Amino acid sequence: MRVSINAIKEMKSKHEKIVMVTAYDYSTAKLVDEAGIPLILVGDSLGMVILGYDSTIPVTMDEMIHHTKAVVRGTKQAMVIGDMPFMTYQVSAEDALRNAARFMQEGGAQAIKLEGGVTVSATVKRIVDCGIPVMGHIGLTPQSVHQLGGHRVQGKTPEAAERLLKDAQALEQAGAFAVVLELVPAPLSKLISQKLGIPTIGIGAGSDCDGQVQVISDLLGLFSDFVPKHARQYAKLAGSIKTALGDYMTDVKAGKFPTAENTSTMDESLLEELARA
């Protein structure tokens, strides 16, 4: 049985930290699910870490649905959350509802996530009222990175901090079951977490959030050239993968792979008949 939004809310009431990671494919999602992590976000970050885009902005609904379906197939217990890509929910509430429904019907997701606070609260309410769980996302919102002037910490002035608190409260009032706080100063994240009845999930927002989310490529050390300040590499797989690939190439060139244990045999008398024919 999959993790429910009620179970996530109950974790906050019990002061039990909530863990979420991203996943974008069947094999990785299966490992995450087997590890017992309750929330998997199919983030539009796949645009950069999987598809090689410069930002999340070019990611389409079809791409998100494709990857969401793969993640759902690899999981049995985790709640899978589909990330609404750029301009799939901002034009109108009808567009937002239609695209959110695609995540549920076509992708098999159990919830969706979208960016914004007060400005999208009416849209969030519309989606929730139609039975689709919504996770909010405020602070540094990557789809608005050009407007925000780059990947910068948000909420450092009194005015900006007040806006973020109002954004978080608007999302709760609209029916969101949780809200991601990205690149928000730790003291402000603590205050928002205390003010809200729904869980906060932090990324670069300090340890006082109700939970944490990380991009799995950062967590596993799949990128060796850049590690965000908010991330911790729990493994350094990039080096291990390069070493394994190098060993494989060396063995193939030296005739050491494949060996007899990697191949199949047959009745060679059949080959003799075939050769004569």
Q: Are 109 and 101 in contact (CB under 8 A)?
A: no
Closest listed residue to residue 220, CA positions, set 3, 14, 31, 82: 31
Environment class of 192 (CB within 10 Å of its CB; exposed 0-12, middle 13-18, buried 19+): buried
Distance CA 192, CA 197 (A): 10
Q: Are 136 and 113 in contact (CB under 8 A)?
A: yes
172: amino acid identity, one letter: E
Could you tell me the CA-to-CA distances from 116 to 4, 31, 191, 228 in Å, in that order? 23, 31, 19, 22
Contacts with 204 (C-beta within 8 Å, 6 or more apart), sequence order: 140, 153, 182, 183, 184, 228, 229, 230
Catalytic residue, chosen from 34, 162, 182, 261, is 182
Q: Are 29 and 17 in contact (CB under 8 A)?
A: no
Identify whether 261 is a catalytic site residue.
no
Q: Are 187 and 209 in contact (CB under 8 A)?
A: no
Token pair 């009431």 in the structure block, residue? 13
Could you tell me the CA-to-CA distances from 251 to 241, 247, 248, 254 in Å, in that order? 15, 6, 5, 5
Tokens of residue 20, six digits? 């979420």
Instruction: Give me the active site residues, please.
Output: 182
